Structure 1
Amino acid sequence: MGVPFPDLDPYETLKISKEASEQDIKKSYRKLCLQYHPDKLKNSDDADESKLKFEKILFAHSILNDSKKRKRYDQTGLLDEVDTEDGFDWFEYFSKVKAEINEESIAKDRKVYRNSEDEEQDIIEQFIETDGDFLILFETIPHTELSNEEENRLFSIVDRLVNDKILENYLQWKNYKSKRKQIWVKYLKSQLKSLSKEAKEAEKTKKEILKKNKGKNLDSESDLQQFIISKRKTDMDSLISKLESKYGDKKTSKRKGNDIDDDEFAKIQAKLDKNKRKK
């Protein structure tokens, strides 16, 4: 069986340079797996694209994580020349690795990663790359949560790094610090609105599938996949998902009249903080 992606650039896929160390490869691979794992799909429209992206990441890692294959690719620039194992089943390989990266393994990785040197280094790199964009950390750093507690945690880390002269005191960071509450509340409202919209779309998909299959089992693989996707949460954080379901019908429109009012937002945040303290 030939290679699945003969024209793929494994370095570009893993977003690393050709001089990347084994540790660099491992770190980038982990981040990308968490970001593109099919179980983190937000809606059915992303299913095929996410699955393809994930498989490319697995394939790129299988090449660069093997010193012999990496050397051969570096010398020839051809992936067809790298795959010398007759009868190797890439489909089976992708399925096996995907099964190993599940919610349990992600939870274990989260426990090890948070507040670690790896996380701090990722924060430093991302902060420098974006010239001090603090909020982008919630979209790029693995295992981050949308909560006041998390904002305080990341803010403390960045503030310490800036005070210790490890990070530059960028203008974007200065602006965030000076208007921290207003900027954070605006960002949080925006994210909750987006998540609630996705949750409502998933609920709609589920109802359509159930209606279509009324009185019979979900036998079609496609129907089963769509049904499962519709029930998946839009984020690994269960609290956020519950909030989306509860408040989703109140904040799907972008019009001012249907926006989240301050009282409702305060209730959401109070519940969010209360649940975080219980963990």
Structure 2
Amino acid sequence: MTVPFPDLDPYETLKIENKATEAEIKKAYRRLCLVHHPDKLQGKTEEEQALSRVEFEKIQFSHLILSDPKKRKRYHDTGSLEDIGDTDFDWFEYFSNTKTEINEESIAMDKKLYQGSTDEEEDIIESMVQSDGDFLYLFEAVPHTEVTEDEEKRLFKIVSKLVEDGVLETSKNWETYQKKRKTLFKKLLKSKKSEASEADELKKQIAGKRKLESEDDLKQLIQSKKKQSMDDLIARMEAKYAGGSKKKSSKSKKPKKSDYDIDDAEFEKLQKKMGLRK
């Protein structure tokens, strides 16, 4: 079977150097998996989820190449991935199995082992150096981090200690965050909550559009429409006879639409779809 990403650079995908050790490859792979795994996509848009799924498969593919000495050497020698895969290798099955192996339970276990470890400390140091002391960048770069007040306090304590011990140099970004800590984190927290709220609203809208697809909902729509038609008829008769020769002094108010009200054209389509008659 043809390789899925023939033009991909596995080193660039895993964000590591060409001379990376086996341990560095494994570490980079784990970190990126935690960011792009399908179980971590809640709150993202459909487009973001689709891009993240593709990126996740690229990460799997890159790791498979670089963790195999023979495949890695062949890539180094040829600079191509075209002849890396075995002809009978099923990539679709491989990607599916990988998603199963890395599930919510394994992620929770990894989080327990990772947080507070030397690996996490090294990742925090690396992220702070790369971002020139941008503390909020840790929530994007460090695995298992969540945008919560408790997590912010935990990470802030770690970074403060690293700066105090001279492991990390202070920077303008870090000093700014210290001064405006409450305001800056509150802004990030609000942004994340807004994203989650928008995602929930989108889900509700999608669910709402599907309500009329069942026969029960269509029957309810028919009953509602018949009732509205009768109400309109009575209203017209009252307007005609109750006022006598008196001229209309104002326009009648537009009746309030029911939750299931639609126009006649769409109503007819729904009737035909469900095989019902008006």
TM bucket, shorter chain: 0.7 to 0.9
Q: Kindly provide the amino acid, as one letter, of the partner of residue 181 in structure 2.
A: R
C-alpha separation between the residues in 1 aligned to 2:167 and 2:192? 30
DSSP 3-state at the match of 2:84: coil
**1:54 and 2:56 are equivalent in the alignment:** yes
**1:147 and 2:148 are equivalent in the alignment:** yes
Moved more, 15-24 or 191-200: 191-200
Q: Kindly provide the amino acid, as one letter, of the partner of residue 116 in structure 1.
A: S
DSSP 3-state at the match of 1:51: helix
DSSP 3-state at the match of 1:190: helix
CA spacing shift, 1:54–1:215, aligned 2, 3 Å: farther
Aligned-residue offset at 1:191 = 2.4
TM-score (norm. length: structure 1): 0.72
Q: Kindly provide the amino acid, as one letter, of the partner of residue 88 in structure 1.
A: F
DSSP 3-state at the match of 2:190: helix
C-alpha separation between the residues in 2 aligned to 1:104 and 1:182? 35
DSSP 3-state at the match of 1:135: helix
CA spacing shift, 1:57–1:194, aligned 2, 3 Å: same
- Counterparts of 1:117-132 in structure 2, within 5 Å, are 117-132=118-133
C-alpha separation between the residues in 1 aligned to 2:143 and 2:207? 29
C-alpha separation between the residues in 1 aligned to 2:164 and 2:106? 35
Say if 1:43 and 1:202, in contact at 8 Å, map to a contact too.
Answer: no
C-alpha separation between the residues in 1 aligned to 2:66 and 2:13? 11
**Residue in 2 that maps onto 1:27:** 27
Say if 1:37 and 1:51, in contact at 8 Å, map to a contact too.
Answer: yes
C-alpha separation between the residues in 2 aligned to 1:86 and 1:124? 43
C-alpha separation between the residues in 2 aligned to 1:212 and 1:91? 36
Aligned-residue offset at 1:182 = 2.4
Aligned-residue offset at 1:215 = 4.6
- 5+ residue gaps, structure 1: 217-279
C-alpha separation between the residues in 2 aligned to 1:143 and 1:215? 45
- Counterparts of 1:213-228 in structure 2, within 5 Å, are 213-215=213-215
Q: Kindly provide the amino acid, as one letter, of the partner of residue 176 in structure 1.
A: Y
The count of corresponding residues between Structure 1 and Structure 2 is 214
- Counterparts of 1:100-115 in structure 2, within 5 Å, are 100-115=101-116
TM-score (norm. length: structure 2): 0.73
- 5+ residue gaps, structure 2: 217-278
Aligned-residue offset at 1:80 = 1.9
| CA RMSD across the alignment | 1.7
C-alpha separation between the residues in 2 aligned to 1:128 and 1:152? 20
The runs of at least 4 consecutive aligned structure 1 residues that moved more than 6 Å come to none
**Residue in 2 that maps onto 1:270:** none
Say if 1:6 and 1:78, in contact at 8 Å, map to a contact too.
Answer: yes
Q: Kindly provide the amino acid, as one letter, of the partner of residue 17 in structure 1.
A: E
C-alpha separation between the residues in 2 aligned to 1:213 and 1:107? 39
DSSP 3-state at the match of 2:82: coil
**Residue in 2 that maps onto 1:5:** 5
How many percent identity over aligned positions? Answer: 53
Match of 1:76 among 71, 75, 78: 78
Aligned-residue offset at 1:46 = 2.9
